Structure 1
C-alpha cells in the first residue's frame, strides 16, 4: 500500500489526528481517540488498532492489557483529510475504559 495518502493527512501541530472507532456491524460509535503516523501504520500493519495516548505520551495498543482489542475491518479518512474513521470488531464488546460498550453513554437533556 502506498503511503502517499498517509502523508496527505492533516495532522495537528503535535502530529496527531482524531480517530473515531465505529462498530463495523451495527454502526455504533464506540470511542474517539488520537493517532499519530506510527499508530496509523501499526494499525494497518497489524490489523489491530493502535492510538497515541496524550496523557501518557506513548503508543497505545487498544486492549493490550484489558483484552478488549479492536480488530481493524475498514479504514477511511474524511473529505478534509483531518479525521480518521476505523470500522472495527470490538473484542469483548467493551470499548470504554469505564467498562461500557461505548464512551458515548451520557446524553445531554435538551429542551428543543
Structure 2
C-alpha cells in the first residue's frame, strides 16, 4: 500500500483522477461559462455528482441543504452542458467549463456572482 507521501505525489503529478473529498465527502466546483469566461456559480460535488456529470455531460451537484444529488436546471430548464472539467493540483476542487442554457442563479441573474463588495457594501455589477 502506498504511503501518504506517495499518494500525495500521485495525486499532484499523476494522470489518475483521485478526487480528494472533505470530511463530508464533498469538493468545490466552480462553473465557468466557456464562451464568456464568466464565473457562473460555485457548488459542491460528491462522487455520485461527479459520476453523473461525466456519464450525462450535464452538471450535477450535491445539494447540502437537501442532502441529495441534483441536476442544475432540473426545474428551470437552465441546464449546464459540461464541455470539460479542470482539476486543481491536489484534486480537491474542480472547474466545470460549461455552456449554459439560461441564467444560472436561482434569483434569475445570469451568474450567482452579480454583486461586488465595495466599501463594506454590496453593489450590483454593471451588466
Alignment TM-score, normalising by the size of structure 2? 0.80
Root mean square deviation of aligned Cα: 1.2
Structure 2's unaligned 5+ residue stretches are 1-15, 121-127
- Following superposition, the deviation at residue 78 of structure 1 comes to 0.6
Distance 2:96 2:24 in 1: 21
1:46-85 equivalences under 5 Å are 46-85=56-95
Alignment TM-score, normalising by the size of structure 1? 0.90
Aligned residues: 105
Runs of 4+ in 1 over 4 A off after TM superposition: none
Distance 1:28 1:85 in 2: 12
* Structure number with bigger Rg: 2
Q: Which residue of 2 aligns with 1:86?
A: 96
Q: Which residue of 1 aligns with 2:111?
A: 102
Structure 1's unaligned 5+ residue stretches are none
